[in-house]
Chain A
Amino acid sequence: MSNVEQHGPLVDLGNDRPQLPARARNLSPIVPRATIAGRALVAVVAIMTFLASLTTGTVLLVSASAAEWQSDVASEITVQVRPQTGRDVDRDAAAAADAVRGQPGILDVRPFTKDESAKLLEPWLGSGLSLDDLPVPRVVVGRVQPGSTLDLAALRKAVVQAAPTASVDDHRAWIERMRSMSGATVFAGLGILGLVIVATIISVSFATRGAMAANRPIVEVLHFVGAGDRFIADRFFWHFLLLGLEGGVIGGGAAMLLFGFSESIAAWFSGTPVGDQFAALLGTFSLRPSGYLVLAVQAALIAAITAWASRRTLFKTLDEIE
């Protein structure tokens, strides 16, 4: 506590006293922004946010597509009727279709015709195929009522009774594989995200240390005039928070634009063979609005991490400066 409040003016200027009131001044910031390696840090945070957003966006896309596939596959059962010498495969297919139709929980049943079966095999065997020459099984697809639980044992029994060469596939193995694949993708995405965040913290800590080293004389003078570490840290902290936000907005914004642009590209190619293959593999290449929200929250989170990492480094560095 100074004793400034208890006394009159320190100096008496007498006739030298200026007649005009002193004008208000725009004070310079205590820590000049130019002394902080701002551009490099903004670039680092922007790149990290961009990579994190790409990772998160891709994980969200893959999860959504996997869920879409799973629900598609889980809502169907397939009956395969194998041809056998002495049996009419068409009649067996029709009998199997009737058996499936008779089960509770089945919405509709569609036996694939000869031509449709040929079309299914076209990618592997080429066009102009005559199925009469090959022992190709027939497929019967049944659509399951959403939310209903099928009695698979009863269904299998009924189908085998109707057509002894038929077998029922409920796609469980597929679903399991898909579930583990999407789980692995999400896990890998989280791993990459973790690495990106650690790299951000390290970069920010280095940048903060650099800024503190460049401003060491200022810190020493502030200590001389009685400034506490909290006061000094606050002067630096706002710079780093703003830099973090700037980097987060640039990186997150660029990633969002990229996802939006990719969505438009996918829309342009939709209906073409390439577009259809792509859609079959990755589903609809579009982030939901909630996905964009997640990216925005993530960008803000990275800005907050930048600020936190710099504050932590500030206090550690201030401890080393007398």
Chain B
Amino acid sequence: MTSLSQRWQQWRHDRRAVWLVYIALAMLLAALPFLTGAALGRGWVRILDFTLLYVMLALGLNIVVGYAGLLDLGYIAFYAVGAYMYALLASPHFDLHLPFWALLPLGAGLAGIFGILLGAPTLRLRGDYLAIVTLGFGEIIRIFLNNLNAPVNITNGPQGVNLIDPVAFGGFSLSQPHEFFGVRFPGLYAYYYLFLALALLMIFVSLRLQNSRIGRAWVAIREDEVAAEAMGINTRNIKLLAFAMGATFAGISGGLFAGFQGFISPESFNLFESIIILCMIVLGGMGNIPGVILGAVLLTVFPEALRYLGELQHYLFGRILVDPSDLRMLIFGLALILIMIFRPAGLLPSVRRRREFGSDASVLAQEQASLYDTQR
């Protein structure tokens, strides 16, 4: 066993091997929609697109919760802001049709401003109090979206906004099939590559932030805010920056969602969505980018895969005993509980958290507890 792990370590540090892995991964990602489309059908390519949207959302929330340790339960509100910004400025609703390159930065910017608006009054709050205030904020945004159709019709209320312009670069609309080199690309595939590119950009930004001065400041605030302030970190600005960065990521994904879906309504932005995104990052491993991506992929694909429960029942019992759509969320909830019981730090925890959960974790906990006592 040891020789194998040693060889693995050697192999990991071999530059050429690392590049080979990256190239293989890139080729897999490039071919993924075609492979999925051929093996599982067009529906799964759509799920693939949604998976990438959720990866972007999870990466954004990871900055707020994973890096800076600010528990945000209203994160979906920023997604909603981005989506509605796009929808209202590019649909027959106001008869505005702004181009895509203007819409995305606008949505991201507005979401960022909302992030600061939420962050500023909550700077004094910690832990669960922050959680409940952000939750309230998310609900307020959703209720306003739901009701701002009277007396002046702004959001079109519960019916939502329809016929949103698809994402288009000049005359190149992503919703229509295109032909390149004799290969036909349906719209879903084009969206996949756009989402993939933006998700990779966000991964890059997250990775670069992680080890930057700002990233270390976030971690310091997460671990001990008072100590961080004593070290000369401007906690107010750094916390607001975390909120704004996370919200910007969500605003971009929201705009993409609106263009991709062509229709949005307030129902897409309820509390449950915020909770699911939080589950993604906690389940995958907070603060660790591969973990966050894994969590997002698992929690998007797994409920969809559970739709095959009907066929499974047919195969096992010869008939359908329970409606699979009723059963799948039940199993989803059970899976959440089981994964957390067996891997409380997440599936792929960050190095720091893995150390905290090492053999000396109990000693550490006792030390902290006694320190806490002397403070009082």
A binds B: no
